[in-house]
Amino acid sequence: MHDKIHRSAGELAFYAVLFIFSLVLLWSAYGISGFESLSSPGALPMAVALAMVISSGLILLDSCRNAERDSTRFFRDILPPVIIVMMLFITGYALLLVPLGFLPTSLLFLVVSILYLRRGGIVFALTVSAGALIAIYIVFRLIFTVLMPSGIVPEAEILAAFGRMFGGAQ
């Protein structure tokens, strides 16, 4: 099919992981109801897991056999430091969201990421983050009534106090 295709850094390893993962899923799908009947709960899972095994196998084989390694480097072109750092930031955000609460975690996340991506400018980062957070809070918390973990901020009390101040019932 292909005469010469290019393979980026880490591509082969990624395909191998997909293939192994598909095999595990096929095994797990077999465990649902085996070859009991074509209409069993495990029939479709087994069929799609098999499709995954075959397709990932073909992709792996094709890349192994035909592809020529190009000049990309994994930690420069595929997963550069900026992406690793941002991945760590969002993971940190997800971990802190419940214990710390939505407002402080979001503010921290925005300030730190903007500072990191722009490399400097604390006033800018703080102003933009606070502004964006207020806008997000008004739109999503108050208009869309999305419930977010309040954590260490006594959000409900503050909202109730505001409600009393303006005479409205909260």
**Which residues here bind other proteins, judged by CB under 8 A?**
1-4, 8, 11, 14-15, 18, 25, 28-29, 32-33, 37-39, 41-45, 48-49, 51-52, 55-56, 58-59, 62, 78, 80, 82-83, 86-87, 89-91, 93-94, 97-98, 102, 106, 109-110, 113-114, 117-118, 128, 132, 136, 140, 144-149
Listing DSSP states for 41-76 in one string gives: TTHHHHHHHHHHHHHHHHHHHHHHHHEEE-S--III
Of the CA atoms within 13 Å of residue 142, those in its CB half-sphere come to: 14
* Distance of closest approach, residue 64 Cβ to other proteins, in angstroms: 14
Q: Which residues of 54-74 are buried (b: 16+ CB within 10 A; e: fewer)?
A: eebeeebeebeeebeeeeeee
Can you tell me the distance from the alpha carbon of 5 to that of 63, in angstroms, rounded to the nearest whole number?
Answer: 8
Number of H helices and number of E strands within the chain? 6, 2
Q: Which is nearer to other proteins, 72 or 159 (CB)?
A: 72
Nearer to other proteins, 76 or 164 (CB): 76
Nearest approach, Cβ of residue 19 and other proteins (Å): 10
Instruction: Give 118's DSSP letter.
Output: H
Distance of CA 139 to CAs 119, 130, 132, 136, 147, Å?
A: 29, 14, 11, 5, 12
Residue closer to other proteins by CB (options 131, 161) is 131
Whichever of 4 and 65 has its CB closer to other proteins, that residue is 4
User: CB of 9: closest distance to other proteins in angstroms?
Assistant: 10
Smallest distance, other proteins to C-beta of residue 153, A: 15
**In this complex, which beta carbon is closest to other proteins, that of residue 58 or of residue 158?**
58
Q: How far is the CB of 165 from other proteins (least distance, A)?
A: 27
